[in-house]
Structure 1
């Protein structure tokens, strides 16, 4: 089964490369590269969540044979927010979406309450702020190439999130929720997804921080068990 994977703010589709290798033939991991990120860096960044969700929907549709082909969605952090909005679109259009896997994402009633006044911060202040809330791995802050190339990308995505007004709907598709027990950004707020689910909801907690998808063996085992 195809598993379309949506990345976190500022990240590239390559964040799922290790998971793709770990899954092998157990599932077809298909990372989605947002415009302005990674291999699409030459393209302009998208400036609104609504437009980014729409772009992802069209990109995924191109990679499905037809509406009857079964598939799953997997998102991490911002990617989970995109998956949540995509679920309603795909179900309303009759697509065969089997599972939605949301990793490191708080429930809609808590969304975006952590984002500060980032538009007035300079690059140094912004990166320190994002690191302080656990939104970027600390080791990347020591990488000058990362800071030079990716700061604008991360800032764009965080501004996109800050301005986002979610369309809150009940989820018809079975949910799979994954969180790290050391994730200070999401904390216990991931458990409230049950309020938005009309179907089966499964919970998995790993011994990780916010970047829970880096635990590829655990993620592989969970995906194999739910697909």
Structure 2
């Protein structure tokens, strides 16, 4: 039996339905179908991080934030620690979701979300649903080895301190011990997934790839983001952006502008 078609706002994976399109000033474009942009958040974050994008892109793009287990409204669910386990649950949702759009779809992921978006794109292409594009931010491409020791199996205090040193958690989090305790379990699951993910052999992507790098990201040299080019046969665009590992939330207008241009 096939899975019922997911509807943003009624499916736990898709808690935030995109707003109605803003009427365009040119009548010729007022009824143009909008491309659908599936957005995957960074480690420790939830889908609500992309709510501002829904407003900013409403005229051109249908932004659909994807909520992974273990955060926000799904905080009581265990977070996935393997990409394979996550994809077993998530891929059927995405297959149905990408079949519903007339104007095509694209994927965006930040940090952890970049790896999830990439693996989703691979599997969707294999299912015959080639995206308009994949955009990734602040994450090494998965064919490159880690340039540091893994952190996911460190004791909690050392784990959180190390993430802080790498600039992978906001420094203000450490001002609240309760928040640290709450975040540690979810972050550990996320970093376990990131540090153990090894893509299976397969063809390169066919879709265009855009890689965005924070110029002050201490956890990832911007030049490493250029290696995403190795993973696609399609066009590749590299865009450095001012900011650290969290530039996606801090430079929203600039990032959204890059994505709008990429989707044409």
When the two structures are superposed, what TM-score results if normalisation uses the length of structure 2? 0.79
Q: Which ranges in structure 2 are unaligned for 5 or more consecutive residues?
A: 1-34
Which ranges of 4 or more aligned residues in structure 1 deviate by more than 3 Å? 64-69
Do 1:213 and 1:219's aligned partners in 2 also have CA atoms closer than 8 Å? yes
Deviation at 1:68, TM superposition (A): 6.3
Which protein has the larger Cα radius of gyration, Structure 1 or Structure 2?
2
Deviation at 1:25, TM superposition (A): 2.2
Alignment equivalent of 1:15, drawn from 49, 70, 75: 49
Q: What are the Cα deviations for residues 126-165 of structure 1, in whole angstroms up to 9, with x where unaligned?
A: 1111111121111222233421222100011112222222
Structure 1, 98-107 or 166-175: larger mean CA deviation: 166-175
Paired with 2:117 and 2:262, the residues of 1 have a C-alpha distance of: 17
Do 1:3 and 1:73's aligned partners in 2 also have CA atoms closer than 8 Å? yes
Deviation at 1:197, TM superposition (A): 1.9
Deviation at 1:38, TM superposition (A): 1.3
Do 1:115 and 1:162's aligned partners in 2 also have CA atoms closer than 8 Å? no
Give the equivalent residue in structure 1 for 2:180: 147
Paired with 1:134 and 1:147, the residues of 2 have a C-alpha distance of: 15
Does residue 191 (structure 1) correspond to residue 223 (structure 2)? The answer is: no
Paired with 1:16 and 1:79, the residues of 2 have a C-alpha distance of: 12
- List aligned pairs for 1:166-205, cutoff 5 A: 166-167=199-200, 169=202, 170-187=204-221, 188-205=223-240
Structure 1 122/205 Cα, relative in aligned 2: closer, same or farther at 3 Å? Answer: same
Q: Which ranges in structure 1 are unaligned for 5 or more consecutive residues?
A: none
Alignment equivalent of 1:216, drawn from 252, 259, 262: 252
Deviation at 1:44, TM superposition (A): 2.2
Query: What RMSD, in angstroms, separates the aligned Cα atoms of the two structures?
Result: 1.9
Q: What are the Cα deviations for residues 42-93 of structure 1, in whole angstroms up to 9, with x where unaligned?
A: 2222231111133332222343444865100000111111111112211111
Paired with 1:2 and 1:183, the residues of 2 have a C-alpha distance of: 29
Give the equivalent residue in structure 2 for 1:132: 165
Corresponding residue SS for 1:202: strand
When the two structures are superposed, what TM-score results if normalisation uses the length of structure 1? 0.91
Do 2:134 and 2:209's aligned partners in 1 also have CA atoms closer than 8 Å? yes
Deviation at 1:179, TM superposition (A): 0.8
Corresponding residue SS for 2:59: helix
Paired with 2:190 and 2:83, the residues of 1 have a C-alpha distance of: 9
Do 1:108 and 1:168's aligned partners in 2 also have CA atoms closer than 8 Å? no
Paired with 1:150 and 1:59, the residues of 2 have a C-alpha distance of: 26
Do 1:32 and 1:56's aligned partners in 2 also have CA atoms closer than 8 Å? no
Deviation at 1:113, TM superposition (A): 3.7
Q: Higher relative CO (CA 8 A, sep ≥ 6), structure 1 or 2?
A: 1
- List aligned pairs for 1:1-227, cutoff 5 A: 1-66=35-100, 70-119=104-153, 121-167=154-200, 169=202, 170-187=204-221, 188-214=223-249, 215-227=251-263
